[in-house]
């Protein structure tokens, strides 16, 4: 018989809980609500909300004039708000407070870096094209450098002007270890660098606890949507602590050959993974013969 434990720290972060709660509240009295982009990077949860009337729109152009749109926790650039006003679209703004503070910090840094003849550089450690990162870059009209990893930074480092000051920020869901590596590379090259600690505290604190959880079980099932940036970071973390880590989207993807009689199985997930999905996977493992 397998012993199964769900990681108590896994499940939706506060920002995602807030956005989904607001969406469900609105849809309890209305037939349709548009979400600007996926409200959460989890296919199973998206399907559940679609059944309630949530429609994902890639842009405001897909929303009829006068419609109602939810801005998800990832946040949006100023241009989105301006377009909504011009098209008489009502916004339910569920931008995560952590993201909003980060957006404000980037605007303030840009103003400092371009005051009194300076031509400094705002750098964002994050995934190119990620919704949160697009919102951050939009705060400064696109005039920010996005770096995904150390190799990407090394490839472009000779094009940077180290005679000018720099300020660096991280996407809120990135790895603290990778962020430190990026910053150290810049310091090594003599950058006049101000480092901002912008990784969400809830995400950052999970790394050490999740690594301990992963190493305390024989097998780890990491449950996450395919498009979750946080899921990629945390599943890699689990795999570094336990080589028998399997990334799954649902219980349907389980393979009985992964398990041996009497083993301990840990079930965990991303900040975009709902608790009900973790429970489904755990129940499916317990039912294996």
Render pLDDT for 272-285 as a digit per residue (tens, 0 to 9): 999 999 999 999 99
Q: Which listed residue (76, 132, 148, 167) is catalytic? A: 132
Render pLDDT for 74-125 as a digit per residue (tens, 0 to 9): 999 999 999 999 999 999 999 999 999 999 999 999 999 999 889 999 999 9
Show the beta-strand stretches assigned E in 107-178. Answer: 121-125, 145-147, 166-170
For 33-52, letters b (16+ CB in 10 Å) and e give: bbbbbbbbbbbbbbebbeee
| Contact between 97 and 103 (Cβ < 8 Å) | no
Tokens of 248: 């799954």
- 146 and 214 co-located in one domain: no
- 205 and 276 co-located in one domain: yes
Is a pLDDT exceeding 80 seen at residue 289? no
| Residue of 34, 117, 37, 32 whose CA lies nearest to 76 | 37
- 178 and 211 co-located in one domain: no
CATH number at residue 168: 3.40.1010.20
Q: Domain end: 195, 228, 258, which one?
A: 195
Render pLDDT for 259-272 as a digit per residue (tens, 0 to 9): 999 999 999 999 89
- 18 and 81 co-located in one domain: yes
In this structure, what DSSP letter does residue 251 have? G
CA–CA separation, 94 vs 23, rounded Å? 9
Torsions phi, psi for 186 (to 5 deg): -70, -40
* Band of residue 2 on the pLDDT scale cut at 50, 70, 90: very high
Total domain count, the chain: 3
**pLDDT for the residue 140:** 98
- Stretch (H or E) spanning 185: helix 176-188
Known catalytic membership, residue 132: yes
Sign of CA dihedral 154, 159, 162, 166: negative
Q: Domain end: 96, 117, 140, which one?
A: 96
- 23 and 63 co-located in one domain: yes
- 228 and 151 co-located in one domain: no
Structural domain range at position 162:
98-195
**92 burial via Cβ count (<10 Å: 0-12, 13-18, 19+):** middle
Beta strand 54-57 pairing with 33-36: parallel
Q: Domain end: 195, 211, 228, which one?
A: 195
DSSP string for residues in 107-126: HHHHHHHTSTT---EEEEES
Q: What is the mean pLDDT of the chain?
A: 95
CA 153 from centroid of its chain's CA atoms:
21
- 139 and 127 co-located in one domain: yes
Render pLDDT for 192-205 as a digit per residue (tens, 0 to 9): 999 999 999 888 88
Q: What is the pTM of this model?
A: 0.88
- 109 and 170 co-located in one domain: yes
CATH number at residue 39: 3.40.50.11270
- 206 and 227 co-located in one domain: yes
Note every long-range contact of 89-95, with CB atoms under 8 Å and residues 24 or more positions apart, other chains counting.
89/60, 89/63, 89/65, 90/66, 92/22, 92/23, 92/26, 92/33, 92/68, 94/15, 94/18, 94/19, 94/22, 94/23, 94/70, 95/71, 95/135
Beta strand 145-147 pairing with 90-93: unpaired
């Amino acid at each position: 018989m397998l012993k199964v434990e769900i990681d108590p720290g896994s499940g939706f972060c506060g920002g995602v809980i807030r956005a989904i709660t607001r969406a469900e509240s609105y849809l309890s009295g209305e037939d349709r609500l548009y979400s600007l982009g996926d409200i959460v990077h989890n296919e199973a949860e998206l399907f559940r909300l679609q059944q309630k009337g949530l429609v994902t729109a890639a842009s405001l152009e897909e929303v009829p004039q006068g419609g109602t749109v939810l801005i998800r926790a990832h946040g949006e650039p100023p241009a989105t708000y301006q377009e909504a006003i011009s098209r008489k679209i009502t916004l339910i703004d569920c931008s995560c407070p952590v993201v909003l503070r980060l957006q404000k910090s980037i605007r303030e840094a840009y103003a400092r870096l371009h005051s009194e003849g300076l031509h400094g550089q705002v750098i964002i450690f994050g995934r190119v094209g990620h919704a949160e990162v697009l919102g951050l870059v939009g705060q400064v009209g696109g005039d920010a450098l996005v770096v995904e990893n150390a190799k990407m930074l090394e490839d472009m480092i000779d094009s940077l002007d180290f005679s000018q000051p720099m300020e660096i920020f991280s996407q809120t869901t990135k790895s603290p270890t990778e962020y430190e590596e990026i910053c150290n590379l810049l310091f090594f090259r003599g950058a006049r660098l101000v480092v901002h600690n912008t990784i969400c505290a809830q995400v950052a604190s999970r790394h050490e606890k999740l690594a301990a959880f992963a190493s305390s079980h024989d097998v780890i099932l990491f449950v996450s949507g395919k498009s979750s940036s946080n899921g990629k970071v945390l599943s890699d973390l689990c795999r570094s602590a336990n080589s028998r880590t399997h990334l799954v989207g649902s219980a349907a993807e389980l393979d009985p050959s992964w398990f041996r009689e009497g083993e301990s199985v840990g079930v965990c997930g991303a900040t975009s993974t709902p608790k009900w999905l973790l429970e489904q996977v755990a129940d499916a493992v317990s039912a294996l013969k």
